[in-house]
Structure 1
Amino acid sequence: MIPPKPLPRPDRVSLWRYVKLFRRDILSAQPARLYRAWMAEFKTPFFRSFLINQPDLVKTVLKERPLDFPKSNRISEGLRPLLGKSVFLTNGADWQRQRRIIDPAFEGGRLRETYPAMWAAAEAARARLMARAGETVEIEEITSHAAADVIFRTLFSIPIEDATAQQVFHEFRAYQRSQPILNLAAFVPLPRLFPRFFRKGTRATARRIRALITRLTEDRQTRIAEGTAPDDLATKIMTTRDPQTGETFTAEEMVDQVAIFFLAGHETSASALSWALYLLATHPDWQDRIAQEAQTLTGDFSDVSKLKISRDVFREALRLYPPVPMMVRETTCPEHFRNRTLPKGAQVVLSPWHLHRHERLWDNPDGFDPARWHSENGKTCGREAYIPFSAGARVCTGAGFAMVEGVLLLALLLRDLRVTAIDGREPVPEAHLTVRSRDGIWLRIERR
């Protein structure tokens, strides 16, 4: 089986090509030089954008001075119909308050408490895939179903088979395919009341999703008041008070947060798991090693520390196919990077897609090599050039949760099953809400 190839990399890309492609496939529009450059400038008639790959500058933006580089509204405009004022989009005092309420729900001890629900979802996913043995399946659909089940079980203590959960899942599937990573507002400074040119149905789908989430949160509020609510993530977040103000989230704020939990915990996990399975289908030796390692699984949280090979493989999948390929910050004052002046309001692009494949940082940057994490180069790059969950103060709250979930699902699914890639159906990555394949990822499923 031929390993996956990197996307074609044109030498130069015009502004017109960017405008033409940004709604469909921003990844293949990236010129080859960006995989070698420490910094690059991109000019439009309306703003200046700077891609930064130099590790110490990435550290400055994400870790050392995060409040000086807030999230750019150019990106948030495209996500606001669904995510409202969630922690993913806010900045400054609003964001700090939201993190003070949310972070306790994802502390280390809570991972152990949510593990039984995660295990139940993983076993259900394995059973569904076992029933498809002997078939060729579109694996992104399978992983989306599994990741959604994990979120519903850990957040609201309901399985994916619940009627409301099913509705949210199917509506979200439609939304992620209709919503590009960038909205027109990313390129053109539109007045506040000017139409944002969302794709047909995007706003309506977002409204339906939010209505369903509202139903779930209102029901949970009632059960909390009655003292009958389960001790899951939703209850924890809805009852946690801001240590500075004593306030909890309002009902509308909770809908915003649940929307991003579903996006971050479902979309990104499904993307990472599907690419990991494809990479293993093209590297059967690593697949066999995971299957052997997974024989030790018992369903206890202590299993997590034993899945070392599975963790290395999942980390490598996140390196090659980071679910969120680009993050955009904005300068709040003039900056001076690499002898260039970044004016106030400039866009600072931090791209895991480029940083993780940078030719001057990584050994064999486009190759699949889970063993790299034990080499000196891999350890160094893991510290300085690996940001699948962002980094610093704005690191994804659920990063630890995602690593446990992804590694567990990968190991349990492959313990008794084998996946094989289909010749002639190599997936082509595209950036929707996350990095997905243009025509799906098709794999043959067989029992071991």
Structure 2
Amino acid sequence: MRPPKPTPRPDKVSLWRYLRLFRQDLLSAQPQRLYRAWMAEFRTPFFRSYLINQPDLIRTVLKDRPDAFPKSNRISEGLRPLLGRSVFLTNGAEWRRQRRIIDPAFEGGRLKDTFPAMVAAAQACVDRLEAHVGQEVECEGITSHVAADVIFRTLFSVPIEHEVAAQVFDKFRLYQREQPLLNLAAFVPVPSWVPRFHSRKTRQTARQIRNLIRRLTAERAAAIKNGTAPDDLATKIMTTPNPETEKCFDTQEMVDQVAIFFLAGHETSASALAWALYLLALYPDWQDKLAEEAQAIGTPEFSDMSRLHLSRDVFREALRLYPPVPMMVRQATCPEQFRDRDVPTGSQIVVSPWHLHRHERLWDRPDDFDPARWATENGKKCQRDAYIPFSAGPRVCTGAGFAMIEGPLILSMLLRRYRFETIKGNTPVPVAHLTVRSKDGIWLRVVER
């Protein structure tokens, strides 16, 4: 038995058919040969795109020469209504300035400070599930709820039940389902002043989310001024000046950053957790092992996280098979030559965790769920060279350490109390919205242990 993959597509399709398939589902549109190719070229009437799977090329783009391959504006256009000029979309000096302010909030010591809020959110999730014992539940909704709760508790010191937090969560669920990772602006070179291909509903939902976030940031700014603000991530970020200019984020910039914290910290964690629960339901032996590990520890302290070896390996394997952000796009700023092939200036360079993590020439049994692989020589090598769920290099996700505490913690607390079982005839099919989700949700049965 193997975990589900997207609907397979033929290796060769016309450009226009590819665009139709792409619009329906980014993952299923990709030809099978990309899971064994080191490099592939894709041509449109407007630009060339190169997908790279060869580890040394990926290292060049993400680690060795990142300034020569900034984030592509073609990706940015699809996310601009919600994220504005957040750190996820900017490049160059602006991006460096933003990271200098944001990074201190996610240093190792801060993770220990936020841990009690993570535990409280995980316990609240365990308590909510009690009413659904014996029932079939849609797990993406469950994991979205708990991941959003973690973000609001750690960022603003409020639970998901807080009035504004609940509204942001509800609006964001609408947004993520209607907004693909790429929109048609990714394929059509148009001037910046030309209106983009965003639906009116997408623009309206993004505007509503940003207005709600603006309320939270304005309230926090007032609390900081009055000396009554809690010592959480929002306070830390809003009071950290750029060391070069001594200026902090203004309100507009903080709205942009909170939007990406919510996207990166909630949407991606929710995706990975839901797929992890499905994988564990598919492989009950592994689920029992995790439950035993969790029960031996009880309610974890921060120091216990190093003992959740199995939970961490399962979460890591879920991130390998179903990386929340399946593709990253960079742009060549000068002529390059990859694998003896000319790559013109302006070309789009696609780094795809989705393909890299399942590459047939890199991984042993790439399509199999095997958390034990991380202790093997192949697993260790691939973790160094071919595993990038949080990107890599200077632009590695600021919250990667946060996610690798949050994910194993929530898994262990859920499995200590409940068993998750598959439902016959209900196999999830992965598709790409803002992150890798299931086409019709992930449905499992919850049983109390």
Name 1:47's counterpart in structure 2: 47
Opposite residue 420 of structure 2, the aligned amino acid is V
Cα distance in 2 between the residues matched to 1:101 and 1:195: 32
Provide TM-score, normalisation by structure 2. Answer: 0.98
For the 8 Å contact 1:297–1:303, the answer to whether it is kept is no
| Runs of at least 5 residues in structure 2 that lack an aligned partner in the other structure | none
Opposite residue 41 of structure 1, the aligned amino acid is E
User: Structure 1 residue 38 and structure 2 residue 56: aligned?
Assistant: no
For the 8 Å contact 1:179–1:199, the answer to whether it is kept is no
Name 1:328's counterpart in structure 2: 329
Name 2:425's counterpart in structure 1: 424
Segment drifting more, 125-134 vs 319-328: 125-134
For the 8 Å contact 1:3–1:283, the answer to whether it is kept is no
User: Structure 1 residue 5 and structure 2 residue 28: aligned?
Assistant: no
Cα distance in 2 between the residues matched to 1:70 and 1:13: 29
Cα distance in 2 between the residues matched to 1:39 and 1:23: 23
For the 8 Å contact 2:2–2:367, the answer to whether it is kept is no
In the TM superposition, residue 5 of structure 1 has moved relative to its aligned partner by 3.1
Name 1:371's counterpart in structure 2: 372
The Cα offsets for residues 200-249 of structure 1, whole Å up to 9 and x where unpaired, read as: 40000000000000000000000000000000000000000111111100
Alignment of 1:175-194 (within 5 A): 175-194=175-194
Name 2:271's counterpart in structure 1: 271
The Cα offsets for residues 272-310 of structure 1, whole Å up to 9 and x where unpaired, read as: 000000000000000000000001133310111110000
Q: Secondary structure at the match of 1:22?
A: helix
Cα distance in 2 between the residues matched to 1:5 and 1:395: 28
Cα distance in 2 between the residues matched to 1:66 and 1:223: 39
Cα distance in 1 between the residues matched to 2:351 and 2:130: 40
In the TM superposition, residue 15 of structure 1 has moved relative to its aligned partner by 1.2
Opposite residue 14 of structure 2, the aligned amino acid is S
Q: Secondary structure at the match of 1:70?
A: coil
Q: Secondary structure at the match of 1:201?
A: helix
Tell me the number of residue pairs that the alignment of Structure 1 and Structure 2 aligns: 447
The Cα offsets for residues 157-176 of structure 1, whole Å up to 9 and x where unpaired, read as: 00000010000000000000
Provide TM-score, normalisation by structure 1. Answer: 0.99
Opposite residue 437 of structure 1, the aligned amino acid is S
Name 1:399's counterpart in structure 2: 400
Opposite residue 4 of structure 2, the aligned amino acid is K
Cα distance in 2 between the residues matched to 1:126 and 1:218: 32
Opposite residue 83 of structure 1, the aligned amino acid is L
Q: Secondary structure at the match of 2:24?
A: coil
Name 2:122's counterpart in structure 1: 122
For the 8 Å contact 1:22–1:182, the answer to whether it is kept is no
Alignment of 1:45-444 (within 5 A): 45-295=45-295, 296-444=297-445
Cα distance in 2 between the residues matched to 1:314 and 1:66: 28
For the 8 Å contact 2:4–2:428, the answer to whether it is kept is no
For the 8 Å contact 1:331–1:346, the answer to whether it is kept is yes
User: Structure 1 residue 17 and structure 2 residue 26: aligned?
Assistant: no
In the TM superposition, residue 16 of structure 1 has moved relative to its aligned partner by 1.3
The Cα offsets for residues 92-146 of structure 1, whole Å up to 9 and x where unpaired, read as: 0000000000000000000000000000000001111122111000000000000
Cα distance in 2 between the residues matched to 1:266 and 1:88: 14
In the TM superposition, residue 197 of structure 1 has moved relative to its aligned partner by 1.6
Q: Secondary structure at the match of 1:41?
A: strand
Cα distance in 2 between the residues matched to 1:198 and 1:81: 8
Identity score, percent: 72
For the 8 Å contact 2:217–2:254, the answer to whether it is kept is yes
Cα distance in 2 between the residues matched to 1:247 and 1:128: 42
Cα distance in 2 between the residues matched to 1:30 and 1:277: 26
Moved over 4 A (4+): none
| Runs of at least 5 residues in structure 1 that lack an aligned partner in the other structure | none
For the 8 Å contact 2:5–2:429, the answer to whether it is kept is no
For the 8 Å contact 2:22–2:28, the answer to whether it is kept is no
Cα distance in 1 between the residues matched to 2:169 and 2:287: 29
Opposite residue 102 of structure 1, the aligned amino acid is I
Opposite residue 319 of structure 2, the aligned amino acid is L
